[in-house]
C-alpha cells in the first residue's frame, strides 16, 4: 500500500531512501577506517614508496567526499520526511477544524430542540 501526497511523494520510497542513505553512510565510514589502517600499515612497511602512498591518500579523499555528500543527502531526506509529516498533519488539522464546525452545528440544533423535547416528554408521561 503506497500512500502518497498530492505532490507525488511516496512515503515508502522516502523511507527506503533514508534506510539506504544510512547504510551507505555506515559503509563509507567503514571504508574510511580501512583506508586509514591501510595508510598506516603502508607507511610502516614501505616507507620509501611514496607514489603508492599518495594514491591511497587520493582514494581516502574520494571516500571523504562521498561521506560528506551522504551526510548532506541524509539531511535532505530528513527535511523531505519532515515536510511530508507536516503536510499530512496540516491536512488532518484542516479535517478536524471542519469536523469541529459540524459538531458546533449539531450542538446548536440540540440546544434549540432539547428543552422543547424535554417538556413534551414530561407532559406526555403525566
Close Cβ partners of 29 (under 8 Å, ≥ 6 residues apart): 67
pLDDT of residue 92: 82
pLDDT of residue 126: 61
Cβ(74)–Cβ(18) below 8 Å? yes
pLDDT of residue 26: 93
Per domain, the residue ranges of the chain are: 11-125
Global pTM exceeds 0.75: no
State the 10-residue block means of pLDDT for the chain, 126 residues long. Answer: 57 88 93 94 89 92 94 91 86 83 89 85 76
Choose among 2, 1, 3, 5: nearest CA to 87.
5
pLDDT of residue 8: 66
pLDDT of residue 31: 95
Amino acid at each position: 500500500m503506497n500512500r502518497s501526497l498530492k505532490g507525488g511523494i511516496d512515503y515508502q520510497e522516502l523511507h527506503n531512501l533514508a534506510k539506504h542513505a544510512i547504510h551507505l553512510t555506515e559503509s563509507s565510514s567503514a571504508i574510511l577506517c580501512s583506508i586509514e589502517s591501510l595508510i598506516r600499515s603502508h607507511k610502516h612497511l614501505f616507507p620509501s614508496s611514496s607514489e603508492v602512498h599518495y594514491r591511497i591518500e587520493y582514494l581516502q579523499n574520494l571516500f571523504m567526499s562521498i561521506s560528506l555528500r551522504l551526510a548532506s543527502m541524509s539531511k535532505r531526506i530528513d527535511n523531505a520526511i519532515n515536510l511530508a509529516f507536516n503536510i499530512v498533519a496540516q491536512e488532518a488539522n484542516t479535517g478536524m477544524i471542519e469536523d469541529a464546525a459540524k459538531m458546533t452545528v449539531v450542538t446548536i440544533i440540540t440546544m434549540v430542540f432539547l428543552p422543547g423535547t424535554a417538556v413534551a416528554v414530561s407532559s406526555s408521561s403525566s
